Structure 1
Amino acid sequence: MAQLPDRRDVVRALLADRGDLLVIAGLGASAWDITAIGDHPRNLPLWGGMGGAAMMGLGLALAQPSQKVLVITGDGEMLMGLGAVATIAVQKPANLSVVVLDNEHYSETGGQETATKHGVDLAAMARGAGIVETRTLRGLEEVPALRDRVHAGGGPLFAVVKIAVGNLPLVLPPRDGAILQARFREAVLGPAAHHQL
């Protein structure tokens, strides 16, 4: 079997030529990964609230239907927030893509195996919930086409990218949630955003 891709290489390929893409990153490694590629005001890395990334992405996609929203999260975080796939399927936001980086382990807490290691198929669960466009990728060469699909819209899209196990050096985003929220809000709504309620 071919070697699975490195998570950071996947994220780098996903965020290449990102334009105005809004990115929500799940708790832990996904947040470190988007920051390693380049801290950006249109990134909102989660420092807490495990299980909430997909729902935050849904809310953002519904509030900003003219902007493309990408959620990048891990298998452990997605397993905790599985109810999101049902709500996303019902709401059908055309501008939302969810990409799950699946190494089949809880890397942040010691490498315990997740349910995906034992046959749980997140893409099949999303499809069963009613998200029509789902896919599972196993090679880095497949990611540019996924990136193009994210930018094309017409979603929702739910993709699982199987990645290699292993911890990479931490590249931490700003730790102050108020700063992250304020700069993201300004990036989305413009400079006058801080005057709005």
Structure 2
Amino acid sequence: MERIKALEQITSQLDEELVICNIGFPSRELYQVKDSPKHFYMMGSMGMASSIGLGTAMAQERKVIVFDGDGSLLMNLGSLVTIFNQSPPNLVLVILDNECYGSTGNQCTYSATTDLKKVAEGVGFKNTILYKESEDKIDFSPVLELEGPVFVHLKVQAGNANVPVIPLEPEEIKERFMREVQGIK
């Protein structure tokens, strides 16, 4: 499955959840399929979506979905240990694993030889789920019912959708997301 199709299927099943999305093309693809003030699009800081998601989950009660990449997770594996030890019950970490750094030129990562689901289980995650690339339908409702932290390993095809740059300034993204988290309309 293409990453943009996975994002489309999962976000169609979300309602009040807050979403933090990894830098570059994943954020651009998410913006294209479903923009929302509930979405925080990373414009930089590769490897930090999981940490921002953790902080967001700890600061409020709504469910937080983090879309991160295999390359970003591998760049900041320490975030898994921190997430597990803080154990926010409202956090779902979704790793969109295309086995490459898709936003920087498709250089290979080590996720082809490293089972990220087993890494999360080794850290201590109790709820881990794998969606294989060959699956053409994602039922995300069971994930949303689990108590977090939840680790979702979602294998997707390498490649980026042909989508435009997000037409919002980073300050706009941050401010509208902060208003959403605070319940300010």
Say whether the fold is shared (TM-score over 0.5). yes
Q: 1-side partners of 2:102 and 2:142: how far apart?
A: 28
* Cα distance in 2, alignment partners of residues 53 and 158 from structure 1: 14
Equivalent residue number for residue 55 of structure 2: 59
1:141 Cα deviation from its structure 2 partner = 4.3
Residue 68 of structure 1 contacts residue 153 of structure 1 at CA under 8 Å; is this kept in 2? Answer: no
Aligned to 1:134: 128
Query: Is 1:122 the counterpart of 2:116 in the alignment?
Result: yes
1:186 equivalent to 2:179? Answer yes
Determine the C-alpha separation between the residues in 1 that align with 2:167 and 2:123.
35
Aligned equivalents of 1:137 and 1:126: distance in 2? 15
| RMSD (Å), alpha carbons | 1.5
Q: Which moved more, 1:171-180 or 1:13-22?
A: 171-180
Structure 1 or 2: larger helix share? Answer: 1
Distance 1:17 1:160 in 2: 18
Question: Are the equivalent residues in 2 in contact too, given 1:9–1:140 (CA < 8 A)?
Answer: no
- Equivalent pair of 1:24/1:44 in contact (CA under 8 Å): yes
Structure 1 or 2, whichever has the larger Rg, is 1
Q: What is the SS of the residue equivalent to 2:12?
A: coil
Letter in structure 1 aligned against 2:24: G
Residues 1:154 and 2:147 are matched in the alignment: yes
CA distance in 2, matches of 1:188, 1:136: 29
Q: CA deviation at 1:153?
A: 4.1
Please show how residues 64-103 of structure 1 align to structure 2 within 5 Å. 64=60, 66-103=61-98
> How far did residue 108 of structure 1 move?
1.8
Q: Which runs of 5+ in 1 are unaligned?
A: 193-197
TM superposition shift of 1:152? 1.7
SS at match of 1:48: coil
- 2:44 match: 48
Deviations 1:76-128 (A, max 9, x none): 111111111001111111100010111101122222110112x1111111111
Q: Take 1:74 and 1:121, find their aligned partners in 2: how far apart are those partners? A: 14
Q: CA deviation at 1:140?
A: 3.5
User: Which stretches of structure 1, 4 residues or longer, exceed 2 Å deviation after superposition?
Assistant: 139-142, 170-175
Q: Does 1:29 align with 2:25?
A: yes
Would the aligned equivalents of 1:96 and 1:153 in 2 still touch at CA under 8 Å? Answer: no
Percent identity, please: 33
Aligned residues: 184
Q: 1:164 maps to which residue?
A: 157
Q: TM-score, normalised by structure 2?
A: 0.93
Gaps of 5+ in 2: none
The letter of the residue matching 1:120 is T
Q: Give the structure 2 partner of residue 195 of structure 1.
A: none
- TM-score normalized by structure 1? 0.88
Q: Hey, what's the Cα distance between the residues in 1 that align with 2:125 and 2:91? A: 11
Measure how far apart 1:29 and its partner are: 2.0
